[in-house]
Amino acid sequence: MARLLPRRAVSERTLPIIRYLTGLLARRQPDDVEIHTVGDVTVRLHRPPAGATGPHPAILWIHGGGFVIGTAAQDDGTCRRLARKHDAVVAAVEYRLAPEHRFPVPLDDCHDALVWLAARDDVDAGRVAIAGASAGGGLAAGLALLARDRGEVRPVAQVLAYPMLDDRTVLRDDIDQRYLRLWDSRSNRFGWSSYTGLAAGSRGISELAAPARCEDLTGLPPAWIGVGTLDLFHDEDVAYAQRLRDAGVDCDLQIVDGAFHGFDGVRPGSRVSRSFLAGQDAALAAALAR
């Protein structure tokens, strides 16, 4: 499958086309999905199976897309699975995209959704986790920092699938681009500059925008981080996991040998993808049971 995939799917040129296609997807509303307005955005809500007793644990899911594309609807299947697997209320936030809405707008949208989710009558506010993939994983990591600082909601876990954490990766010239798929250094530069409004790697970028820049990682919820060895984000994710551990934060790091960015979405039925999802589920189950 990797041989058939492009090294980059997102650029300034392809952005309008991809947004048009994902916009069509966002119009769909399956019968089991509720759409709620939270502040300036909407949230797609997935309820646990009928008969599950509440109040329920909850998961805030944040979709990927390099900060510039994507929709909460693209992960309906993921959220539906999480709701059933964990008897949880799962909310996917339709945060506003860059470059039209730069940091901190998308992160604030996610925080508003987190506060709204924890305040629901059918949710146990003491068992709320945050999770996301790619840029959504980066937003989830930033949200963990923001939630710690604001203190309104205290997530019990942060589950980060190949998270986009460090804009300074664009400064590296030692990364072999040949084996990257779907997201390479050019896409990375475009995504970060769109999100922050600054040249990626420059001074002045907030640690809440790029969590790898944060010097104080103490007091954060336990983390699960998963990434493939052929992912542009591999090194920054491994380094962040170690820094969490050094700060006294429990962190389970799952590295998938030979896996490219978004591999589990391309081939969800493969053995490595099932193992990858099982790692996320184990981390969520342990956290939500506390």
Chain-centre distance for alpha carbon 196 = 17
Give the separation between CA 56 and CA 125, rounded to whole angstroms.
9
User: Residue type at 239?
Assistant: A
Give the separation between CA 110 and CA 130, rounded to whole angstroms.
10
Give the separation between CA 98 and CA 159, rounded to whole angstroms.
23
Q: Are 191 and 67 in contact (CB under 8 A)?
A: yes
Q: Which of 231, 34, 225 lies closest to 144, judged by CA?
A: 225
Give the separation between CA 167 and CA 48, rounded to whole angstroms.
37
Residue 101, H or E segment: none
Longest dimension (CA), the chain: 54
Q: What is the DSSP letter of 211?
A: G
Q: Are 58 and 124 in contact (CB under 8 A)?
A: yes
Residue 22, H or E segment: helix 15-26
Q: Are 92 and 61 in contact (CB under 8 A)?
A: yes
| Residues catalogued as catalytic | 134, 231, 261
